[in-house]
Structure 1
């Protein structure tokens, strides 16, 4: 498995939610790791229940036979300098680098409303070409620093943040250097108003990490029409695991393999575990991706 160019990991959000700790807050980390390993996942992204000491984290994961895939970093380059961000990231970057991570999930949280009781349409925006230029230069400088430590920045476009829509992603890619990788998130792409396969095709050369989440289109429409917050959208079931919605993961995996993608597919679907039982949905997501990868491999051999 470890020699496969594409590996399947999972985010612990299936068991407990960092943005809304009441979701799965009572589920211990050991349950997530044990169940994830039993399902077949090779690694986990980090969440708030993981240790933050590099050695302690490495020992914990080794005990389960799991790898550390990556970990979310809450960046604020939109409101401070790259130099300030470099100082702020030091401990997190060391945690990832010393645990063999190739990428760092970067989420821009300056002025973001993803955890706030504010409708999504009130998210922050860069209004001018100069805004994008300045932001792109700062992100690129920051990304050069993380890459110098062997960890590529994987920029996570996200609902409620500056970079949400496909147009935002286009602007980000146009104003940043190749040091800035793109984290392609299928669910956020759809919710943000885009066709996931089209966005993937447009930026596939920059994609260095992939979050696989499916969507329930009816809920997404309600979220937009009723001006829900991001967390209201999550609680009402906007997202789900691959194979439980409408996103064409067969096409996504085909495109990634054709382009020679080498990295992780991470199942990451914010849901309430009392409504969407963690093990059942985590297994559905894994089985969907595994069957598609295996089907592609059989096709190549034939």
Structure 2
């Protein structure tokens, strides 16, 4: 297996939904934590968090990290909103190009994702009931993903698509439909598949040849069940401790990784342990806890990577 292990800002509470006013781990402290625990890459996080241009390249070089990819969420099911959002895609691609100027061993993958809807975000794993994906909406989504993919490829990168709980591509059936209508590779996210009541091991058998990017999580299924039963949405999942360090949840990481190892998977393996810290977090203690978790996660993958 010729993969490269990366960490992610979301594992340190830094992503697009970090509460306004909450103290966050600095980019240098995060990069240092990943470097010292054995990671070789980092996901982008919010655009600009790691810097741009020379600042971005210098930070990555200083901590011996490469850019693995980055989240680009777009409203694929709405033609007008999608067109209006294209400047965001172009902005993200400029940041990927900034990082690529350093001549990395492995290029980052722009990670496309659907914006979903408010109804779906409030009912993760239950989207088909909360806000059904009709034929017309699905057609728009598939068509606009192809438009975005063409833009990404024209910029010199290969796109990947992230199925995500709370969006219009979350369940195994919706992922099947997406793959049938697109040639874009799949970002396989273990945790989000579990939220959508999917079986990660079966999913690898089902979609293995289409997977070009890995997002690995362990999941406390009991906690997920409690959150969803109480009517929680994605914010409650992220803040409620649903995603835990490897070996502390219910995902059989060995069974997930074995087929990729046997097939000689080549690409980024991004460890994500999504957390949403509150505004009153003690940031130094939070950083120590997150760093300890990432050390556990990295060590759990050493038999393969």
Cα deviation for residue 17 of structure 1 reads 2.9
- Cα contact 1:16–1:23 (8 A) shared by 2: no
Equivalent residue for 2:219? 215
Q: Is the 8 A contact 2:27 2:50 kept in 1?
A: no
Equivalent residues in 2 for 1:60-71, closer than 5 Å: 60-71=59-70
CA distances 1:240-259 after superposition (whole Å, capped 9, x unpaired): 13222111211222111222
Tell me which moved more, 130-139 or 263-272: 130-139
Greater RCO (CA < 8 Å, at least 6 residues apart): 2
8 Å CA contact 1:154, 1:209 repeated in 2: yes
User: Once the two structures are superposed, what CA deviation does each residue of 1:125-164 show, in whole Å capped at 9, x if it has no partner?
Assistant: 4533343233212212321221222222211111211111
The equivalent residue for 1:46 is: 44
1:56 paired to 2:60: no
Distance in 1, matches of 2:254 and 2:21, equals 30
Q: Choose 191-200 or 25-34, whichever is displaced more.
A: 25-34
Is the contact made by 1:212 and 1:242 (CA closer than 8 Å) also made in structure 2? no
Q: Which stretches of structure 1, 4 residues or more, deviate above 6 A after TM superposition?
A: none
Q: Work out whether 1:8 is the aligned partner of 2:12.
A: no
Q: What displacement does 1:85 show?
A: 5.0
What is the DSSP-based 3-state SS (H/G/I as helix, E as strand, rest coil) of the residue aligned with 1:152?
Answer: coil
Distance 1:269 1:93, change over 3 A: same
Indicate which of 140, 150, 160 corresponds to 2:146.
Answer: 140
2:114, 2:168 within 8 Å by CA — same for their partners in 1?
A: yes
What's the TM-score, normalizing by structure 2?
0.84
1:77-96 equivalences under 5 Å are 77-80=76-79, 85-96=85-96
Q: Give the match for residue 280 of structure 2.
A: none
From the superposition, tell whether residues 64 and 213 of structure 1 become closer, same or farther in structure 2 (CA, over 3 Å): same
How far did residue 113 of structure 1 move?
6.0
SS in 1 for 2:166: coil
In the alignment, which residue of structure 2 is the partner of 1:193?
197
Give distance in 2, aligned partners of 1:144 and 1:248.
Answer: 36
Deviation at 1:80, TM superposition (A): 2.4
Distance in 1, Cα, partners of 2:2 & 2:25: 32
The number of equivalent residue pairs is 286
Deviates further, 273-282 or 137-146:
273-282
Residue 24 of structure 1 deviates from its aligned partner by 6.8
Is the alpha carbon distance of 1:148 and 1:172 closer, same or farther for their aligned partners in structure 2, counting shifts above 3 Å? same
- Alignment correspondent of 1:158: 164
Q: Cα gap change, 1:193/1:270 in structure 2, threshold over 3 Å: closer, same or farther?
A: same
CA distance in 1, matches of 2:141, 2:237: 28
TM-score (norm 1): 0.85
Deviation for aligned residue 1:15: 1.8
The yes-or-no answer on 1:99 pairing with 2:99 is yes
* SS of residue matched to 2:146: helix
Unpaired runs of 5+ residues, structure 1, are 295-302
Unmatched tracts of structure 2, length 5 or more: 101-106, 278-284
Deviation at residue 194 of structure 1 after TM alignment: 0.3
Aligned-residue CA RMSD (Å)? 2.6
CA distance in 2, matches of 1:238, 1:207: 24
Q: Distance in 2 between matches of 1:231 and 1:84?
A: 26
